[in-house]
Amino acid sequence: MLIALFHAITDLGDSAVTCATVVVAAVVFLFYKQKRAALAIIVAFVFTAVLIILGKIILYSRCGDAPNTLFDLKSPSGHSAISVAVYGTLTIMIASSQSGKRRIIPYLLSIPFITLIVASRVVLGAHSVSDVVVGSSIGLISCLSVWGVFLKGEVTRCPWVPFSVVSLIVLGVLYGTHFPAEALIDWVAQYIRLHIRSCSA
What tens digit of pLDDT does each residue of 88-135 get? 999 998 888 888 888 899 999 999 999 999 999 999 998 899 999 999
For residue 101, the model assigns a pLDDT of 87
| pTM attached to this predicted model | 0.85
Instruction: Determine contact, residues 155/99, Cβ cutoff 8 Å.
Output: no
Distance CA(70)–CA(112), nearest Å, equals 28
Q: What is the pLDDT of residues 147-182, one digit of tens each?
A: 999 888 777 777 777 777 777 787 777 766 777 766
Among residues 58, 65, 45, 68, the alpha carbon closest in space to that of 130 is found at 68
User: What number of other Cβ atoms are within 10 A of residue 22's Cβ?
Assistant: 23
Could you tell me the pLDDT band of residue 65, with boundaries at 50, 70 and 90?
very low
For residue 190, the model assigns a pLDDT of 66
Instruction: Determine contact, residues 133/81, Cβ cutoff 8 Å.
Output: no
- The dihedrals phi and psi of 156, each to the nearest 5 degrees, come to -85, 115
Return all residues near 70 (Cβ < 8 A) that are at least 6 apart.
none
For residue 67, the model assigns a pLDDT of 43
Q: What separation, in Å, do the N-terminal and C-terminal C-alpha atoms of the chain show? A: 50
For residue 201, the model assigns a pLDDT of 47
Q: What is the mean pLDDT of the chain?
A: 83
Residue 20 has pLDDT above 60, yes or no: yes
Q: What is the pLDDT of residues 32-44, one digit of tens each?
A: 888 999 999 999 9
Domain spans, the chain: 2-200
Q: Residues 150-155: contacts with CB within 8 Å, 24+ apart?
A: 150/36, 150/37, 150/39, 150/40, 150/43, 151/36, 151/37, 151/40, 151/89, 151/92, 151/93, 151/96, 154/36, 154/37, 154/96, 155/96, 155/97
**Cβ density class 91-126: b for 16+ within 10 Å, e for less:** bbbbbbbeeeeeeeebeeebeeebebbbbbbbeeeb
